[in-house]
A and B are shown apart, each in its own frame.
Chain A
Amino acid sequence: MLRKIEQGRFGELIEALLARGPLYAPVRDDRGVNFQLIRKASEPTLDFYNTLQSPKLAWFPQSEDLIRYRLAKGETKGEAISGPVAPTVVLGMRPWDVKSLAIMDLLFLGGGKEDPYWLEKRRLTTVIGYGLASEEEPDGADFFRTLNIGAADSDGSDVFLLKKDGDLLLEGITERGKGLLGELTFLKEGTEEDERYLVAAKAGGKDRKTRFFDLDANAAADKLKAVFADNTFWEKEAEGCISCGTCTFVCPTCHCFDIADETLFRDGVRRRFWDACMFTDFTLEASGHNPRPRTFQRLRQKICHKYSFYIEKFGVVSCVGCGRCTRLCPVNIDIFSLVARAVNL
């Protein structure tokens, strides 16, 4: 199923999506482009290469209330706060970000216990993926090709969006996506030529030049386990690391969180919020024991978690090569070259 609309009528599309329910889309402000909950149809933009922050916030918000309570003398009763009520659309996710959802699913829905908050949002959210058109060049920090992700991969999206000359092509991938496109009656039918363009773009996306090395996930997992005990290597790599949480907070596949009770006078919420394995007190136990007191141990944990442990546990690399961590690292630590060095050690 292929539909299209002129780029000039993008606002109309947004208007229609907004009328259906909550919509997350990339918005440009004075600091760059980021996903936001859209209020006005004029806000979203498709003119960007990559968003600064990852779109994971639509499913895994930085801060999410789990339970509401009111402190009482006898029994304090807690009430679970259920997920979103409205079906949501997230528009404009790049293929690597779409891929991250499947990686996160393994954790949040696996291990024998489903996370109801993640599940609810996954169930009710339509993903509109957004392929990288040929003229948009990677910016030097990303390496999604290393992770075998094409610049115009549509897997994982419900609807796949691609720019073509003055048009926006919209391909319905899943039943849900096709249903959504069916509702948007103002869209035009895509032509055969559009179809060919789309197929070619998807194929071409596979060869898009980003930083690349030949990554064999299982071999990397084993190699990193072997390198794990090489403290000298990790100390050198972590030399500049200031142990802030930037890399994990902007990462589309970092899932660690903390839970805390926030009480104001008597009313409170039990809330979960992003936490980072890079923080000193992440693993600090109440006894005072900290298994990872040193910076290099924490950096090692992060790298190994993504490129070794996750592979061993779930069979996939927990990284999509979006390059955000590299781009925003205050001291220019680069996960790509670090892993390449470790694997080739």
Chain B
Amino acid sequence: MLAPTVQPGLTFPSFTRSLMVLLLLGGTHLFEMVQAQTTGNHTVTITVATITAVQVSSGSVSMSITGAGVAAGQDLMTVSDQSTNLLWGINSANRKITVSTSLGSQTFSLRVVAISPTQGIAAPEVTLSTVANDFLLSVGRSSGSCGIGYTGLALASQGTGSDSHSITFTVQSE
């Protein structure tokens, strides 16, 4: 707030005239000076929800043991697939990804392992079962991807057939 100062010896009528002149010249400015504000602030709040996103690059994988690469005399026959990837984005700490299958009664064996994860640590290769097994460890607060390495195993003595698995990758607390 500013107020005009009055010098000693100034007569009131003269002061009044001066003030009038002043108001005429700068009255508007004076009003503004009374209202003047050079800074302003407000509060901006950022909230980040718990986000857990996991997806596969393709919803289906087909593997077929046809005998290619099988040596005669060898009972064990295998087929591998690394055509798909798992992607995730997790902003919570201490998380891992597990894997399980819905197929309780399997004719053949199906193994899975994470390949070259960009974050976290791949768990050892596991044989899929309905019980969740570790697939990737230490993937908390990260975004990344890895290859999904499947290996199907069949013994010749098991004959022919097919297994249809619904594989579930789940983010869980470590």
Q: Do A and B bind each other?
A: no
